[in-house]
C-alpha cells in the first residue's frame, strides 16, 4: 500500500516535463529579454509565431492554445511599449492567432495518429506473442535465452522464426529465416511454426518433423519462396540431433572453444526439396554438461558496420560466453547493435541452449559429429 504514493511522487516530475513546452517558453523569455535590452518594439514579434508551432510537436491542443495566448499577450505588450502603429500590431496579432489555431489543429491530428500507432503496436505485440511464443528460461535439462529484433521497429515481428518445445521425444527447437519481408514473410513464419509445434509432439523421428514442414510448405508456398532453418532435438541420451536445411551452421561451445556445426552434406532450404531432389541429413552431436549451442539467423552474421565488415559472431561468442545464457545473448545483441551503429537492417534472432554442468560431471568428448542419412520416405508423417 505504501508503494503507490511513492510511485506517484517518483513520476510526476517526469510527466510535468513531458507536457511542459520548454523550448517555446525559452524562446519567449529570450525575445522579451532582447526587447528589454534593445527596446526594438515590433522587431521580435514575428518570431513569437514559432512558439505555438514548436508546442504543437510535443504538446496537446490545450497547451498549444495557452502558448499562443501567451505569445499574443506578449505581442501586445511589446507593440504598445515600442509605440508600434495600430495597423501593424493588428496584423501581427491576427497572424499569431491564425498560426495558433492551425497549430492546435495539427496537435489534435498528431494525437489521433499517435493513438492509432499505439493501437497498431499493441496488435503487433499480441501477434508477436502468438507467433513467437515466449520461451521459459529453463526447458527440460537446458537453460535457454532468446533475443529477437525486427528490422521494422514499429512492426515488432518479421520473417525470422524460432520455437522450443518439450515433447515426449525430448526437447525440440527450430530457428529459421523466411525469404522476403513484410506480411507474406510473417504468414510463412506462422505456417512453419504451427506445423513444427504440431509435428514435434507427433513424430518420434526428427527427420519426420522436417518432412512434415516440407510438405506443408510445398502446398502453400510459391515456386520462388523458401525457408532456411535448423531443427534440433535432444532425445535425452546426452546427444543432440541437428537437421540443417540451408541455414547458417549453429555454433557449439565446449570448454570456451567455439566450433561451427557444418552439415556433412548440404541440404536445400525448406520448400525447395522437390526442385533439387536432395534430402537433409541428421547429425548427431555429443552434448554433455557444460556445452552450449547458439542458433541464429543471417541478420546477425550479415550485419555490416560502416566499413562494410560483417559482424564476427563466432569471435563475439568466444568473448562473451558465460554460464548465464541471458547474459551471453544480451552481450552479443548489444555488441551487434554497436557494430551496425545502433540500427539493424534485417531481422535478427539469437537462441542459446545451455546444458548446465553438474557436479562431478565427466570430461566431455570432442565436438565431432556423425551423420545418418534421411531414412524417411516421402510418405512418412
Q: Which residues contact 301 (CB under 8 A, 6 or more apart)?
A: 248, 310, 311, 313
Residues 84 and 214 in one domain: no
The CA distance from 348 to 147, in Å, is: 8
* CB 70, CB 100: distance < 8 Å: no
The CA distance from 23 to 291, in Å, is: 55
* CB 146, CB 329: distance < 8 Å: yes
Residue 335 lies in a domain: yes
Residues 234 and 198 in one domain: yes
CATH number at residue 190: 3.60.40.10
Burial string for 53-87 (b: 16+ CB within 10 Å, else e) reads bbbbebbbbebbbbbbebbbebbeebbeebebeee
Q: Which domain holds residue 188?
A: 137-372
First to last CA, the chain: 56
Q: CB neighbours (10 Å) of residue 189?
A: 24
Is this model's pTM higher than 0.85 or not? no
Task: Report residue 341 CA to chain centroid gap.
Answer: 15
Residue 12 lies in a domain: yes
Residue 152 lies in a domain: yes
Which cell is 254 given? 565446449
Over its length of 381 residues, how does the chain's per-residue pLDDT go in tens digits? 434 334 334 444 444 344 456 667 777 777 667 666 665 555 667 777 778 888 888 788 888 888 888 888 877 777 776 666 778 778 878 888 888 889 889 888 988 888 887 777 666 666 666 677 888 899 999 999 999 887 665 555 667 899 999 999 999 999 999 987 667 778 888 899 999 999 999 999 999 999 999 999 988 887 778 999 999 999 988 899 999 999 999 999 998 899 999 998 888 999 887 776 778 889 999 999 999 999 999 999 999 999 999 999 999 999 999 999 999 999 999 999 999 988 888 889 999 999 998 755 444 443 443 343 343 333 333
Residue from 227, 243, 254 nearest 366 by CA:
254
Residue 115 lies in a domain: yes
The CA distance from 300 to 315, in Å, is: 13
* CB 207, CB 233: distance < 8 Å: no
Domain boundary among 99, 125, 151: 125
> Does an H or E element contain 142, and which?
strand 142-149
Domain boundary among 82, 99, 125: 125
Residues 143 and 261 in one domain: yes
The CA distance from 32 to 133, in Å, is: 57
Residues 142 and 121 in one domain: no
Residues 145 and 114 in one domain: no
Amino acid at each position: 500500500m505504501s508503494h503507490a504514493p511513492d510511485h506517484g511522487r517518483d513520476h510526476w516530475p517526469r510527466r510535468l516535463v513531458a507536457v511542459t513546452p520548454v523550448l517555446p517558453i525559452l524562446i519567449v523569455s529570450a525575445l522579451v529579454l532582447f526587447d528589454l535590452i534593445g527596446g526594438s518594439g515590433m522587431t521580435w514579434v514575428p518570431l513569437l509565431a514559432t512558439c505555438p508551432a514548436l508546442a504543437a510537436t510535443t504538446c496537446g491542443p490545450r497547451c498549444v492554445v495557452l502558448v499562443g495566448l501567451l505569445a499574443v499577450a506578449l505581442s501586445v505588450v511589446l507593440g504598445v511599449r515600442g509605440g508600434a502603429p495600430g495597423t501593424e500590431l493588428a496584423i501581427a496579432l491576427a497572424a499569431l492567432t491564425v498560426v495558433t489555431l492551425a497549430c492546435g489543429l495539427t496537435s489534435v491530428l498528431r494525437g489521433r495518429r499517435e493513438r492509432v500507432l499505439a493501437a497498431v503496436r499493441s496488435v503487433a505485440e499480441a501477434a508477436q506473442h502468438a507467433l513467437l511464443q515466449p520461451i521459459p528460461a529453463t526447458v527440460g535439462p537446458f537453460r535457454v535465452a532468446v533475443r529477437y529484433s525486427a528490422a521494422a521497429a514499429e512492426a515488432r515481428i518479421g520473417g525470422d522464426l524460432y520455437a522450443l518445445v518439450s515433447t515426449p521425444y525430448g526437447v525440440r527447437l527450430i530457428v529459421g529465416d523466411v525469404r522476403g519481408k513484410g506480411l507474406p514473410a510473417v504468414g510463412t513464419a506462422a505456417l512453419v511454426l504451427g506445423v513444427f509445434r504440431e509435428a514435434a509432439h507427433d513424430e518420434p523421428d526428427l527427420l519426420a518433423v522436417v518432412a512434415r514442414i516440407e510438405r506443408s510448405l510445398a502446398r502453400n508456398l510459391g515456386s520462388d519462396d523458401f525457408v532456411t532453418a535448423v531443427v534440433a532435438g535432444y532425445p535425452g541420451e546426452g546427444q543432440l540431433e541437428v537437421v540443417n536445411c540451408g541455414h547458417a551452421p549453429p555454433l557449439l561451445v565446449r570448454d570456451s572453444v567455439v566450433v561451427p556445426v557444418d552439415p556433412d552434406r548440404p541440404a536445400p532450404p525448406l520448400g525447395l526439396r522437390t526442385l533439387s531432389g536432395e534430402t537433409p541429413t541428421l547429425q548427431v552431436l555429443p552434448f554433455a554438461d557444460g556445452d552450449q549451442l547458439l542458433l541464429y539467423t543471417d541478420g546477425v552474421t550479415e550485419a555490416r558496420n560502416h566499413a562494410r565488415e560483417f559482424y564476427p559472431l563466432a569471435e563475439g561468442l568466444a568473448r562473451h560466453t558465460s554460464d548465464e545464457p541471458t547474459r551471453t545473448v544480451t552481450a552479443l545483441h548489444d555488441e551487434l547493435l554497436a557494430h551496425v551503429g545502433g540500427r539493424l537492417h534485417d531481422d535478427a534472432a539469437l537462441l542459446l541452449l545451455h546444458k548446465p554442468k553438474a557436479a562431478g560431471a565427466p570430461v566431455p568428448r570432442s565436438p565431432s559429429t556423425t551423420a545418418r542419412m534421411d531414412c524417411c520416405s516421402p510418405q512418412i508423417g
